[in-house]
């Protein structure tokens, strides 16, 4: 056994003798501490080539070796212990290296902090860094009585507030690993946990339950208990308590000491003279009381009285040069319930004068009256919607009627406009007709009506000079838009013809519809639920009854849908009539002078209505185009609308190749277009058909012209 021990000691000696120079720390190294980070290197051993932290019990945990106590040892001693522990599992430790990579400082922060618990700091960390690591100090903490408890049980108390005031790091205790920092709560927080802010806590002072604290109460801003500081005067304590209130009696401040009688301190006399001899000395544990001033009726030769809806009504001493604004400002100004347009000055002789403060603040240039001693300023309460309507004089009221959200009588001022009035009434209702607002203008014993188109003004703008002026006593009426005639015939009948457009024929809901300048042809047609399935949308008629004379416009709605050209839609006005004909009856009702006949090899031969803006191409397309056996290069156009019958041949194929518009013949209402096929027998049929259309005198000329043309 002894031989084995000697052999082990020899091996340890040899391994230490061959250790690399980097693993030998200097003799002056400080001992390792809890939290320090070591790096261990051994080539070829990935499990060792990493960082190892000394835990709170002073150990490092090594692979294959387990726990090794290194805290309190120097680097040289720790290296030997680690080498010895690793030698049980590893044979070749000649290249083992142990180094101190980083010093860390693990501490624990408890008490009135946001996140109490363990905090790991750098090796040179201090108390402030530990408090920040714990989330910061919570509201209600006692800053001047924090403690640090070391691992050996030694407890150190320090004043963190003093450090914050001075920035002197020597006022903070030096931290060691495993120290416990405790932040106590202020006695002002009480025994029940509640949520509060810093202002609430500060309002109660900072003295807590100390016997030496100064207590101050009465007519001060924030009564409370404040810590006693040597050299502080009663002025300092009153300032810390927020100063005296406007209801205090500064001549009767009382100071109560422990073993002395109460002392009366005249704060007003000290402020007037500045004599420090009038300021009594304070002792620890004193109590300061600021009494309330006794209410009394103030009356004097320079007194002005302010009553009504002001912040601080009462009697005020005036001086030469004091204006109306000065006196109102000293009373705190009008409240939000004040009617600042009807302020009255009641003179000492019993007369009164009206003051419009709103008009003065608008910069209109009016001057405020002078206020003399003995006068009283009365600020009345503004009229509320719940008050009786008779409180507003008729000369100051405007009546708003009709389709508004809140009809009623509204107080009026001449600098207001109709927009202010409608806004105060909640604006027009959902069915309000703002294009025809009626204003009843009062002129003595008579009334003159005015109409205002608010809709056009909002869309197009314009000069405010065109907006009617409103004055007290006027009546504003917002009419209601008419409802669907199908739903309410009574409303439809009351609708003015000057504001209506008539829609007839093949539409979903024929009837009489309200119209304003902002509406168009499609708006009215859509309001009537649009054309029906049998409507002839290419031959809609618009009779312009609203114009002088008589005029009818033909509307090809099909062409509009094909091109989207708004120029194809007519302009309509109130009084016009829109007629949508029935497609099935349209051509039978047309006279021969307004139609063109299409015969022969065409998709749909027949009579087609024709207008001057149409061409033969429109007719062919309308009739479905030539058939497959049609002679498209020999389309016959018989002009029967003139004094003499003429026949022309139209080569549709040549036109399709060249696009020469000069090849297209002119077609007029009353003409005949014939498309032959490859059978010559149909020429005789055409002649027979024409014989039914032409008179006996002209038949021979038509037939001869046709035969010569075909040859």
Classify domain 104-185 by CATH number: 3.10.560.10
Backbone angles phi, psi at 15, to 5 degrees: -65, -35
- CB atoms under 10 Å from CB of 203, counted, come to 16
Cα distance between residue 666 and residue 561, in whole Å: 26
Phi, psi of 707 (to 5 degrees): -65, -40
**Which residue in the block uniquely carries the two structure tokens 């927020």?**
242
Paired tokens of 655: 């036109």
Q: What is the pLDDT of residues 230-261, one digit of tens each?
A: 888 888 888 888 889 988 888 889 998 877 77
Q: Give the separation between CA 161 and CA 157, rounded to whole angstroms.
A: 12
Domain boundaries, the chain: 2-102, 104-185, 198-290, 303-379, 389-476, 489-585, 592-710
Long-range contacts of 194-198 (CB under 8 A, 24+ apart): 196/139, 196/140, 197/139, 198/139
| Residue 705 and residue 659 in contact, taking contact as beta carbons nearer than 8 Å | no
| pTM, two decimal places | 0.34
CATH code for the part of the protein at 303-379: 3.10.560.10
User: How far apart (Å, rounded) are the C-alpha atoms in residues 333 and 377?
Assistant: 12
CATH of 389-476, one of 3.10.560.10, 3.40.50.970, 1.10.1300.10, 3.90.226.10: 3.10.560.10
CATH of 2-102, one of 3.30.1950.10, 3.30.2000.10, 2.60.40.10, 1.20.210.10: 3.30.1950.10
Q: Which pLDDT score is estimated for 524? A: 86
- E-strand spans in 322-443? 343-346, 352-355, 376-379, 397-402, 408-411, 437-443
Q: Does domain 489-585 have CATH number 3.20.20.70?
A: no
Cα 347 to Cα 316, 327, 378: the distances in Å are 15, 15, 11
CA distances (Å), origin 465, targets 200, 456, 468: 58, 15, 8
Q: Which fold has domain 198-290?
A: Outer membrane lipoprotein wza fold like (3.10.560)
Strand 511-514 to 500-505 pairing: antiparallel
* Adjacency order of strands within the sheet including 552-555: 511-514, 500-505, 577-580, 540-543, 552-555
Q: Which of 530, 502, 506, 522 is nearest to 514 (CA)?
A: 502
592-710 and 104-185 share a CATH fold: yes
Residues 6+ apart with CB under 8 A from 89: 64, 65
Cα(10)–Cα(87) distance, integer angstroms: 13
DSSP string, 105-166: EEEEEEESBSS-EEEEEETT--HHHHHHHTT-BPTTB-GGGEEEE-TTS-EEEE-HHHHHHH
Q: How far apart are CA 118 and CA 490, in angstroms?
A: 85
The neighbour count for residue 652, using CB atoms within 10 Å, is 20
Q: For the chain, which residues score pLDDT lower than 70? A: 1-29, 188, 190-210, 294-300, 383-391, 482-498, 517, 546-550, 584-593, 641-644, 679-711
Q: What is the largest CA-CA distance in the chain?
A: 160
CATH for 592-710, among 3.40.640.10, 2.40.110.10, 3.10.560.10, 3.20.20.70? 3.10.560.10
Distance between CA atoms of residues 641 and 670, nearest Å: 5
Instruction: Enter the tokens of residue 29.
Output: 């190294």
Structure token digits, residue 582: 């029935």
**Measured between alpha carbons, how far is 635 from 652 in angstroms, rounded to an integer?**
7
Range 112-122 burial, b when 16+ CB lie within 10 A, else e? bbeebeebebe
Task: Give the sign of the dihedral formed by CA 422, CA 425, CA 426, CA 431.
Answer: negative
> Tokens 């010569």 appear where?
708
539-565: b (≥16 Cβ within 10 Å) or e: bbbbbbeeeeeeeebebbbebbeeeee
Is residue 226 within 8 Å of residue 236, measured between CB atoms? no
The secondary structure of residue 424, as a DSSP letter, is: H
Neighbours of 139 (CB within 10 A): 17
DSSP 620-645: HHHTT-B-TTB-TT-EEEEE-SSSS-
Residue 412 is encoded by which pair of tokens? 């009026």
Q: 689 to each of 13, 173, 597, 692, 699, how far by Cα in Å? A: 139, 127, 11, 5, 10
Residue 216 near residue 238, CB atoms below 8 Å: yes
């Amino acid at each position: 056994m002894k031989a084995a021990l000697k052999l082990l000691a020899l091996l340890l000696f040899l391994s230490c003798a061959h250790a690399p120079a980097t693993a030998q720390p200097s003799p002056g190294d400080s001992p390792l501490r809890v939290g320090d980070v070591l790096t261990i290197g051994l080539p070829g051993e990935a499990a060792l080539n990493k960082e190892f932290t000394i835990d709170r019990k002073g150990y490092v945990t090594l692979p294959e070796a387990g726990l090794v106590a290194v805290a309190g040892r120097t680097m040289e001693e720790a290296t030997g212990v680690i080498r010895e522990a690793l030698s049980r599992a590893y044979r070749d430790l000649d290249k083992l290296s142990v180094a101190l990579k980083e010093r860390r400082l693990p501490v624990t922060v408890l008490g009135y902090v946001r996140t109490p618990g363990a905090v790991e700091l750098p090796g040179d960390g201090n108390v402030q860094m530990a408090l920040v690591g714990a989330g910061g100090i919570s509201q209600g903490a006692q800053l001047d009585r924090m403690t640090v408890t070391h691992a050996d049980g030694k407890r150190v108390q320090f004043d963190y507030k003093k450090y914050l005031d001075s920035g002197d790091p020597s006022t903070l205790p030096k931290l060691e690993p495993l120290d416990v920092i405790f932040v106590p709560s202020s006695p002002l927080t009480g025994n029940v946990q509640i949520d509060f802010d810093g202002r609430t806590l500060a309002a109660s002072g900072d003295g807590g339950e100390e016997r030496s604290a100064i207590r101050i109460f009465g007519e001060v801003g924030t009564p409370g208990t404040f810590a006693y500081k040597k050299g502080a005067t009663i002025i300092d304590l009153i300032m810390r308590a927020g100063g005296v209130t406007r209801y205090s009696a500064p001549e009767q401040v009382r100071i109560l000491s422990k073993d002395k009688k109460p002392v009366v301190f005249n704060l007003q006399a000290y402020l007037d003279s500045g004599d420090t001899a009038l300021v009594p000395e304070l002792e620890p544990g004193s109590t300061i009381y600021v009494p309330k001033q006794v209410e009394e009726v103030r009356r004097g030769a320079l007194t002005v009285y302010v009553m009504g809806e002001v912040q601080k009504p009462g009697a005020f001493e005036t001086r030469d040069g004091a204006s109306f604004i000065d006196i109102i400002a000293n009373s705190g100004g009008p409240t939000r319930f004040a009617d600042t347009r009807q302020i009255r000055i009641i003179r000492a002789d019993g007369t009164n004068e009206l003051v419009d403060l709103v008009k003065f603040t608008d910069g209109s240039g009016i001057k405020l009256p002078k206020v003399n001693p003995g006068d009283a300023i009365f600020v009345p309460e503004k009229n509320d919607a719940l008050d009786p309507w008779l409180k507003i004089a008729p000369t100051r009221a405007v009546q708003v009627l009709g389709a508004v959200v809140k009809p009623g009588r509204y107080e009026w001022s001449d600098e207001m406009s109709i927009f202010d009035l409608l806004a105060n009434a909640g604006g027009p209702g959902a069915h309000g007709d703002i294009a025809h607002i009626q204003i009843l203008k009062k002129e003595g014993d008579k009334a003159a009506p005015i109409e205002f188109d608010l809709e056009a003004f909002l869309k197009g703008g314009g000069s405010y000079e065109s907006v009617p002026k409103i004055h007290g006593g006027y009546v504003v009426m917002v009419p209601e838009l008419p409802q669907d005639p199908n739903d309410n015939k009574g409303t439809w009948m009351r609708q003015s013809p000057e504001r209506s457009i008539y829609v007839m024929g093949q539409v979903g809901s024929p009837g009489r519809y309200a119209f304003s300048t902002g509406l168009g042809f499609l708006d009215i047609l859509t309001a009537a639920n649009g054309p029906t399935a049998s409507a002839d949308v290419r031959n809609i008629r618009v009779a312009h009854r609203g114009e002088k004379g008589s005029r009818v416009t033909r509307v090809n709605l099909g062409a509009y849908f094909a091109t989207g050209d708004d120029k194809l839609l007519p302009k309509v006005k109130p009084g016009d009539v829109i007629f949508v004909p029935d497609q099935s009856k349209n051509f039978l009702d047309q006279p021969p002078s307004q139609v063109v006949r299409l015969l022969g090899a065409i998709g749909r031969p027949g009579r087609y209505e024709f207008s001057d803006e149409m061409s033969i191409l429109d007719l062919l397309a309308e009739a479905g185009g030539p058939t497959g056996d049609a002679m498209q290069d020999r389309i016959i156009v018989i002009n029967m609308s003139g004094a003499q019958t003429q026949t022309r041949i139209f080569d549709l194929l040549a036109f399709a190749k060249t696009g020469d518009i000069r090849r297209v013949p002119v077609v007029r209402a009353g003409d005949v277009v014939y498309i032959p096929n490859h059978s010559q027998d149909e020429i005789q049929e055409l002649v027979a058909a024409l014989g039914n259309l032409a008179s006996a005198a002209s038949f021979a000329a038509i037939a001869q012209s046709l035969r010569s043309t075909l040859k």
